[in-house]
Amino acid sequence: MKFNIFLISLLIFQLSCNNPQSQQNISPEFEHKGGQEAVQDDESQKDIVKIAVGSANHTTLVAALKAADYVDDISNAGPFTVFAPTNDAFGKLPAGTVENLVKPEQKAALQNILEYHVAVGTYRQDYLTDGQTIGMANGGNITVRLNGDKIIVNDNINVIATIPASNGLIYVVDGVLLPASK
């Protein structure tokens, strides 16, 4: 084994002296590269995260996703249906709620709330039926009601826009979905 270590040492140190660029490439200490959200790709259709990041009405949601370390997850192949509360929707929560939730010690609670906004699967409007329950990523269920063209979630939250994304579907909602406390 020593033999291996010294061969490697030889290689690494030689390169570190002669060619810092290459040294970086073979460095055995891997930098955390970030997940799929870090992939450079301006050609593909935008995924849910990229759409949210580009939306002026969803800065609170994006901040919450970042605080919960969910940016990478929602950049995944999915497919997801994400109920995306607007900044105004977050504004309806009691004062200080959001500020409290993004604190590091509240991460689990924040994750639970955000997961309650995400279903794995593309629940297009034409696949929905009135009164249907949908299992959300946190293990809870939501109920959707259909009223003409309108989708109402958990009785009082309205879908105000539908945005297809490369990895699923965003339903923009005017309220924050609050999971039943367990």
Q: Which is nearer to another protein, 72 or 174 (CB)?
A: 72
**Which of 84, 102, 85 lies closest to 48 in space, CA to CA?**
84
Query: How far apart are alpha carbons 167 and 77 in whole angstroms?
Result: 6
Q: How does DSSP assign 52-105, residue by residue? A: HHT-GGGHHHHHHHHHTT-HHHHTSS--EEEEEE-HHHHHTSPTTHHHHHTSGG
Query: Counting contacts by CB under 8 A, is residue 156 touching another protein?
Result: no
Question: Min. distance of Cβ 120 from another protein in angstroms?
Answer: 5
Q: Which is nearer to another protein, 83 or 115 (CB)?
A: 115
Query: How far apart are alpha carbons 87 and 160 in whole angstroms?
Result: 13
Question: Min. distance of Cβ 177 from another protein in angstroms?
Answer: 15
Beta bridge partners of 158: 152
Q: Which is nearer to another protein, 57 or 145 (CB)?
A: 145
Query: How far apart are alpha carbons 32 and 26 in whole angstroms?
Result: 15
Q: Which is nearer to another protein, 86 or 154 (CB)?
A: 154
CB of 97 closer than 8 Å to CB of 89 = no
Q: State which of positions 76-115 bind another protein (CB under 8 A).
A: 76-79, 108, 111, 115
Q: Which one of 12-20, 52-60, 92-100, 152-160 is the stretch in contact with another protein (CB under 8 A)? A: 12-20
Residue numbers of the site for another protein (CB under 8 A)? 2-10, 12-14, 16-17, 20, 23, 26-30, 32-33, 35-36, 39-41, 72-73, 76-79, 108, 111, 115, 120-123, 127, 133-135, 137-139, 141
